Amino acid sequence: MADTPSCTCGQNEKKRIIFPCAGQANTGQLTNLAAIQLTEEGYGSIACVALLAIGSENLVANAMNAEEVVILDGCPMLCAKKIAGAQGVPAGQHIVVTDLGITKGPSKDYTQDDVEKIVSACWKGEGRTKTTASTDKRSGGKNSGCGCGCNGTC
């Protein structure tokens, strides 16, 4: 009796660094909340955009060696993207919260649904600058493009 091959999905997932702008308005606060949730869900690891702004050598090196850098900006000012660009760190995925239909306002003017909208946009690959497949573990791996032959069932 032959051994059944097991799915290896997850073993070769991208290592992502997530930079939220974490600005004072609701949209900035939402980037931080979404980055925390994405980290908890295994999408990537949150990193400090302020530390990136001062040119922390270790953080810049880690970002340059990451397989994907995700930048979450709260508004069209694009502070996080500009900070990353100033350090030579390119965005692999860039999401602007106001582009998702969330209106910028006071810092506590948001709902959990707003957080979920941003998190879902990341998992769906919105704002991705290059064509790469994204494993959406939250939907059972559908459209994973992992190449293991599981047809999105892993």
Report which of 38, 14, 7, 6 is spatially closest to residue 134, judged by C-alpha positions.
14
Strand partners, 16: 68
CB–CB of 21/72 below 8 Å? yes
Tokens at 52, concatenated: 């990136």
Contact 75, 104 (CB under 8 A): yes
**What pLDDT, on a 0 to 100 scale, did the predictor assign at position 129?**
84
The token pair that represents 109 in the structure block:
């003017």
pTM of this prediction?
0.78
Phi-psi domain of 84 (left: phi exceeds 0; alpha: psi -120 through 50; beta: other): alpha
**What's the pLDDT at 14?**
53
Q: Strand locations in 37-92, DSSP E?
A: 45-46, 68-73
pLDDT tens, per residue, the chain with 154 residues: 455 454 444 444 459 999 999 999 999 999 999 999 999 999 999 999 999 999 999 999 999 999 999 999 999 999 999 999 999 999 999 999 999 999 999 989 999 999 999 999 999 999 998 644 444 444 444 333 333 333 333 3
Domains in the chain (CATH in brackets) are 16-139 (3.40.50)
